[in-house]
Amino acid sequence: MSEFVLLYRDSVEARQQRMGSPNQAQQEMMKWQAWFKDMTEKGQLKNLGQPLDLVGKVIGGKRRTITDGPFSETKDVIGGYSVIVAKDLNEAAQIGSGCPILDSGGKVEVRPVRQM
């Protein structure tokens, strides 16, 4: 089994719409909790991860230029991550396809973790 990171991508607007009211936020969190519980019971979830704040900085280039971010060139924001285990990238993508963020048009990026 290998490790994979699931990066949860969405736009700020879609996130605000999903979490608009306290009732909507609670319903959304219940979907995520059910999905995490299912992965845990199947032995797929290695690290729940954490949500990420919507603000940040991006450092780039030889001059180490610091700009506001984390999304200076794109509307997608990485809102959080989890670490899962799967036999290969295809299985990891299948696991990621159950993510609740997809119901509102978000994306899940699946990346293999390289062992050092």
Radius of gyration of the chain (CA): 15
| Predicted local confidence at residue 42, as pLDDT | 98
Q: What is the dihedral of CA 111, 53, 11, 73, to 10 degrees?
A: -80
| Predicted local confidence at residue 73, as pLDDT | 56
pLDDT in single tens digits along all 116 residues of the chain: 999 999 999 887 887 788 788 898 899 999 999 999 999 999 999 999 998 887 788 888 888 888 876 655 567 788 899 999 999 999 999 999 999 999 988 999 999 999 88
CB 113 within 8 A of CB 4: yes
Helix/strand/coil percent split, the chain, to 5: 35, 35, 30
| Predicted local confidence at residue 108, as pLDDT | 96
CB 8 within 8 A of CB 110: no
Domains assigned to the chain: 2-112 (3.30.70.1060)
